[in-house]
Amino acid sequence: MTAPSTFGLSSEARNLHWLLTNLVEEVPGIQSVAVVSSDGLLLLSSDPARTAESREKRNAKGPRGSSADLATIVSGIGSLTLGAAKLMEFGGVKHTMVAMDEGSLFVMSISDGSLLGVHGNAECDMSVVAYHMALFVGRAGHVLTPELRSELRKSLEAGATGSAR
């Protein structure tokens, strides 16, 4: 994984990038990771430069080549499970897992409606992924303030603009 540039970011934003990089590097089988705001916007991703072309070169499976696709999926699942929890009156949703034939998708609440989504291949150990996601949430939840979410969003937009040139 090529780490995105963290030059010019606050120490909190650099720390979140570092935590995300560690999550991907320490847990075997993780394909991609996305942190999504409560309004469904991608804030942080393990693969900001991932394209369909680079996915074909690596022969990787997953959302159609962009971290925005994973963010959309995570946001949709988060919204659906939140609605189900309200209907059932069981309180907030802590985490959701979707097991598929060739992989899994994990979604965990961070704070203020923000979500952590992890896409793993079929070989990943679900309990290990859940444990490391809980560590990330525990470390990231208290620093993911509205100001930091805004900084991360602007950083992603700036990176997308720069790579489109």
What is the residue-level pLDDT of the chain in tens, covering all 165 positions?
A: 444 556 678 888 888 888 899 899 999 999 899 999 988 889 998 874 543 444 444 445 555 456 778 899 999 999 999 999 999 998 988 899 999 999 999 999 998 789 999 999 999 998 999 999 999 999 888 888 888 888 888 887 776 555 444
Spell out the residues 6+ positions from residue 134 whose beta carbon is closer than 8 angstroms to its own: 108
Domain segments of the chain: what residues? 31-160
Its pTM surpasses 0.95: no
Helices (H), 3-145: 11-26, 52-58, 67-88, 126-140
- C-alpha closest to that of 37 among 79, 75, 93, 92: 75
The fold of the 31-160 domain, in CATH, is Beta-Lactamase (3.30.450)
